[in-house]
Structure 1
C-alpha cells in the first residue's frame, strides 16, 4: 500500500454531482481525510468519474468511500451491476455460494476501482437475529457459521480485486430493536453472551487480516457506560488488546442520532478519537466546520487513510473488455435477475 502524507481526521459528504466552491476549499484542508459518496452524488458513470477526478485534482491523497453492499444499500445502480443483498447468497448450494459471494465481492470492488473509488464501507458482519430491519437481509445469515462462511468469501473477492474492506458494525447490531440513525439502541447482554454470538464473525475476519472496522452506535451497559464508538473499553480493551486488531477504526456517521447524546460535533469528535477511532465520518456541513475549527485550534492530527488506498486503479473501458468481468456479471444477472 502506498504511504501518503495525509494525516486528516474527517470523512465528509458532498452535496451533489459536482464539487461546489465551498467543497473545493474544504477538501484542501489538512483536517479532511476523504469523502463518503451517496446516491445523490451519482447521475451516470461519466459524471461519477468526472466527480472523482475533480476530487483528485484538489488532493490525490483523499480517500473516496461509498456504501455499495448490494440490495437496498447500493448507492450506485444504473450502469453498475445490481448486487443482491448479502443474505441472498445463502439460498444456493455450497458450490454456488462460493461463486456467488466471491464473484460479487470481486465485481463490486472492480467496478468501484474502475471509477477511481478506493473503498466500500462494508461488509456487514452483523448476525440477523430477526430483531431489526436495519440489519435484516444486509446480514449474510442468521447463524455464526453462515455469516463467517459467506462474509469470508465476499472479502476474498474484494481483496483479489485490490480493495481493502471495512467490517461493521462492531461488535454486532443485530440484537437490538432500535435504529441508531434515529435513537441510541441498548443491548443488555453480558460480554460472555456477546462473545458466544455476535462477536465471533469479527474475531474471525480480524484473524483473516481485514484492514478497517466500523463500530456500532450501540450502548452495552453491562460492558461500558459509553456507546461503542465512544468507548475505550470496546475499542482499546476488546478490539485492540483482546482481538489484536491492527487496522484502522472508522466511526459510523457522527451525525446519526445514536451518536448525538455526547453533545456538540466537536465533543463527539473528541470522544471518538479519545476512545480509539482513527477516522470520523460527519455528514453535516455545520458539524464539519465546527470540528475543523476545533482541529485547527488544537493542532490535532489523525492517522490518515494510509493503508486503505489501493495500489492501482483500472479504467472502466478495460474492465468491460475483461472476459472475467463479463462472465461474473452474466452469472449474477442470471442468478438474481438483475442488470
Structure 2
C-alpha cells in the first residue's frame, strides 16, 4: 500500500483520480498543503470524501523545525530541550514530554487527521537530519522519553510511530541527500540504538518507520528494504506486530534500490507494509508500479486511524491545553 503526497492546498482532478487507485491507503501533508487551520481541516474532509475507502491522513508534526502546521497551532518545542532538562529534573522532563505528546496529537486529531509520525527515538549523536529532533544521546534516557511520549499520544487517541528504525542518530549523513553507512555490528546496535525502539514496542507503539541507513555489518541493503532488519530483527527478535512504514522513497538514500518501481518492490518484498511516496511527481509511476500486486493489509491501517473526540471547539474547552502551553513556554524551551 502507498501513502502519497499531493501538491497544494486543494485537491486537483488528477489527485482525486489517484485516490481511486486501490493501492492508495492515505495521504501525507506538508507545509505546501497548509494555508490555515480551517483550510487544512477542509482539505482533510475533502480527502476523505474523494476516496472510496478509508484513508489514513498523516503529517510530521514533531515540533521545532519539523512542524508542518504552524499558524493557529501551538508552536511546539523540539525534543532536545527535554533531554537537557532531564539532566536537572528527570521527573519534570518526562512529564513535560508526555504533555507535549498529548498536545501535539490532540491538535492534529482535532482538525481531522489521524497520525503524526512521532516520536523520533533516534539517539542524539550528531546526525545532520536528526539534530535537535532527538531527545538525548543516551539510549536509556531516550527509552524513558519514548515510553512517556507514547503514553501521551495514546492519551490523545493517536497511535505512535517510532522512527527511524533501527536508529538514524549515530551516522552523520542526511539521507534526504546522501547515502548513510553505519559500520557498527548488531551487538552494538542492540545495546544502543535499538534500546528506545524496544521500549516503545513494549509501551504499545502501533507503528515503526524505517531508516534509509545501511548497516553493512548486519545486512547489505538499507534497513527500509532489508528482509533481515524487517523480518528477523523487528518482527522476529523484537516481536513487533504493528505497521512498518518506509521512509520517503523520494529521498536520495532510497535511490540505491533503482527506479520508482524497484524501490517500491524492494520495500514491500522485504516486509514493509506501507511505502511513503511524498513527492507528487513520483505518484503516477508509483501507481503503475503497484499494478498486479495483491491487496495490502488495510485492516492494519484502519487500526491506526484516530480514536477519541474530534473537533477544535472540544479541544479549546479542555483546560489541559492552556496549562501545557504555559508549561512549554519556559526559557528552557524557547531559547
Instruction: Give the TM interval when normalised to the shorter protein.
Output: over 0.9
Stretch moving more, 274-283 or 55-64? 55-64
Asked if structure 1 preserves the Cα contact closer than 8 Å seen for 2:261 and 2:285, the reply is: yes
User: Aligned with 1:280: secondary structure?
Assistant: strand
* 2:82 paired residue among 86, 89, 92: 89
Q: Within 1, Cα distance between the matches of 2:228 and 2:293?
A: 26
* 1:208 and 2:230 aligned: no
Shift of 1:99: 2.8
The gaps in structure 1 that reach 5 residues or longer are 1-8
* 1:14 paired residue among 6, 27, 31: 6
What corresponds to 2:42 in structure 1? 50
Pick closer, same or farther for the CA change 1:285–1:40 going to 2, 3 Å.
closer
Shift of 1:290: 1.7
Q: Within 2, Cα distance between the matches of 1:239 and 1:66?
A: 24
What corresponds to 1:3 in structure 2? none
Asked if structure 1 preserves the Cα contact closer than 8 Å seen for 2:61 and 2:118, the reply is: yes
Shift of 1:98: 3.0
Q: How does 1:11-90 map to 2 (within 5 A)?
A: 11-59=3-51, 61-90=54-83
1:185-224 superposed Cα distances (whole Å, 9 cap, x missing partner): 0011111111111111111211222100011001111111
* 1:321 and 2:317 aligned: yes
Q: Within 1, Cα distance between the matches of 2:149 and 2:326?
A: 18
* 1:110 and 2:103 aligned: no
Asked if structure 1 preserves the Cα contact closer than 8 Å seen for 2:113 and 2:306, the reply is: no
1:56-112 superposed Cα distances (whole Å, 9 cap, x missing partner): 111361000000111111111111111111111123312321331111000000000
* 2:303 paired residue among 285, 304, 307: 307
- Tell me the TM-score normalized by structure 1: 0.93
1:22-50 superposed Cα distances (whole Å, 9 cap, x missing partner): 11111122110001100111111111111
Q: How does 1:125-204 map to 2 (within 5 A)?
A: 125-130=121-126, 132-204=127-199
How many residue pairs get matched?
Answer: 328
* 1:278 paired residue among 266, 273, 297: 273
Asked if structure 2 preserves the Cα contact closer than 8 Å seen for 1:279 and 1:303, the reply is: no
RMSD: 1.4
Asked if structure 2 preserves the Cα contact closer than 8 Å seen for 1:70 and 1:86, the reply is: yes
Q: Within 2, Cα distance between the matches of 1:13 and 1:236?
A: 27
What corresponds to 1:5 in structure 2? none
The gaps in structure 2 that reach 5 residues or longer are none
Q: Within 2, Cα distance between the matches of 1:16 and 1:209?
A: 34
Asked if structure 2 preserves the Cα contact closer than 8 Å seen for 1:255 and 1:284, the reply is: yes
User: Aligned with 2:236: secondary structure?
Assistant: helix
User: Aligned with 1:250: secondary structure?
Assistant: strand
Shift of 1:286: 4.1
Shift of 1:300: 2.6
Q: Within 2, Cα distance between the matches of 1:90 and 1:228?
A: 27
Ranges of 4+ aligned residues in structure 1 off by more than 6 Å: none
1:107-144 superposed Cα distances (whole Å, 9 cap, x missing partner): 000000000010011111111123x2211211110101
Stretch moving more, 286-295 or 48-57? 286-295
User: Aligned with 1:65: secondary structure?
Assistant: strand
Asked if structure 2 preserves the Cα contact closer than 8 Å seen for 1:228 and 1:235, the reply is: yes
Pick closer, same or farther for the CA change 1:309–1:335 going to 2, 3 Å.
farther
* 1:331 and 2:327 aligned: yes
* 2:232 paired residue among 237, 250, 257: 237
